[in-house]
A and B are shown apart, each in its own frame.
Chain A
């Protein structure tokens, strides 16, 4: 079989940005949802944690009835889920995409880098919608009684996504794939313990003010402030926005595409 004359004649041109963004976002989403470790980290572990923490009282919260346990743990695990998707998952994916030369090759196609990053962000947001939907459904089934304004929650989640994405891109954009994998998983675990997901920050005594500046701690306490107490979490949003500004700036400076 041969090529008909003219069938390969040059006809260069870039597709409309919207089409590239849609195709790239769909591809990024497929990659996340097909990747066993990512699904484990972003969906399975948070769901399992929420069920365990609420139903098995191996972490005692002073003076809490069953419903109160859910009120404490659901916001914490929501913060963990956002960290898993935007920071850990994204860092690992980017680290390996660089190592495999994917980002380099994409750099030689008409896909603008801005569109690539926008697609990554969109796919993280879609995963978060899934996470929030599932965690809220399970939480409600376990007797969770959320308070506060959904808008405040949205602001916190978006600010948290910015903070974690910046740090994830910084890590994945500068380290080798395996280094990123190790560092991102380690940080995930450290932040799970120190970030107010499992224990209230007050459990750490004198370290509390310092720990409260961690992005995970800011997101978990912020979400609790809104969902548990019906308050606003201005301080926490500011902490997250600061992380986001620092992380995204550093990432855009240091990011290496190969």
Chain B
């Protein structure tokens, strides 16, 4: 089962529509057994990229290898699961029928009944696809992508339009897939989703990679050097400043919310943290929600792709 090489490699991918490149020299790699999130504003070229990898569109330039093979290689079909951004089921078939139909294409499918249960679709198993709610259609589509027990799955916005419960069920499924060695490429607009699920993140804009790496790497070297906590209002900050290294700043705003900045804007180090907690203890105050700010993926994303609305 351990085949060498990445699950997916995309090198210099170009796709044009009417002369306009919508994917413009994209390169990235999905390591086996990991989750990679493709992030980017509307129209960035995520679905186009995924569909090239799925073999639905032919690239204008560049090379794509799926499990070491060209994307259209027929031998990939049982090995790859696909969840398109929308649609893809017979409107007249019932939810359960559609899942069992796609399961019947596979030699060793997952138990459709169990999948329906895990994804909260038991109640609507006998409802025709066209009468399912958007979120239910979305969950069925996810089930269709994994029922054949593929090695690699492509999920194009798997949680778009899902309620919080369904989103968590989807996240659990993706985490379980990863734990069982399945490679996952997903696209999303939810930064917390990428933060939670992905080993690696590729941020795409105008068809190009604007940032790539692990969530850690993308966010940690962007530490803001702030420590925040909540405690009883009106603590004596002057006393704290005396105890902290020179150059630190501290303020209470609003009442009960405290922010401490590292010396001259440097990151918070263990010394500062220890001083703050000792001072709290000395003041008889319980520090709650204490955290050292990291820039969120959202900040990184907005900085890289701009705050303007996309057409």
Contacts and interface: CB of A to CB of B under 8 A. Distances in A.
Interface of A: 1-3, 5-16, 19-20, 23-24, 27, 30-31, 34-35, 96-97, 100-102, 104-105, 107-112, 258
Contacts of A6: 180
Given A31-B93, A101-B87, A7 B176 contact: yes
Given A8-B177, A16-B107, A110-B148, 4 more contacts: A12-B79, A97-B90, A102-B89, A105-B144
A12 B78 contact: yes
B294 interface: no
B5 interface: no
B70 interface: no
8 contacts: A5-B180, A10-B150, A12-B150, A15-B104, A100-B88, A104-B56, A105-B89, A108-B56
A125 B66 CA distance: 39
B176 A8 contact: yes
A258 B104 CA distance: 23
A109 B148 contact: yes
B287 interface: no
B186 to A, nearest CB: 15
Contacts of A101: 84, 86-88
B77 to A, nearest CB: 5
A81 B54 CA distance: 40
Would you list the 8 A-B pairs with minimal beta carbon distance, nearest first? A13-B107, A105-B88, A3-B176, A101-B87, A23-B104, A108-B82, A10-B151, A12-B79
Interface string B250-289: 0000000000000000000000000000000000000000
Contact of B77 (A19, A100, A109): A109
A100 B92 contact: no
Contacts of A34: 92
B105 A20 contact: yes
B87 A100 contact: yes
A105 B56 CA distance: 10
Contacts of B106: 12-15, 110
B146 interface: yes
A8 B180 contact: yes
A105 B82 CA distance: 8
A97 B100 CA distance: 18
Contact of B101 (A9, A16, A24, A96): A24
Interface in B140-154: 144, 146, 148-151
Contact of A15 (B91, B105, B172, B179): B105
A15 B105 CA distance: 5
Interface centre among B78, B146, B181 (most CB of A within 10 A): B78
B20 interface: no
A12 B110 CA distance: 11
Nearest to B88: A105
Contacts of A12: 78-79, 106-107, 148-151
A19 B87 contact: no
A242 to B, nearest CB: 33
Given A101-B88, A109-B77, A11 B108 contact: yes
A104 B84 contact: yes
B177 A111 contact: no
A100 B91 contact: yes
Nearest to A97: B90
Nearest to B149: A11
B93 A9 contact: no
Nearest to A35: B92
A19 to B, nearest CB: 6
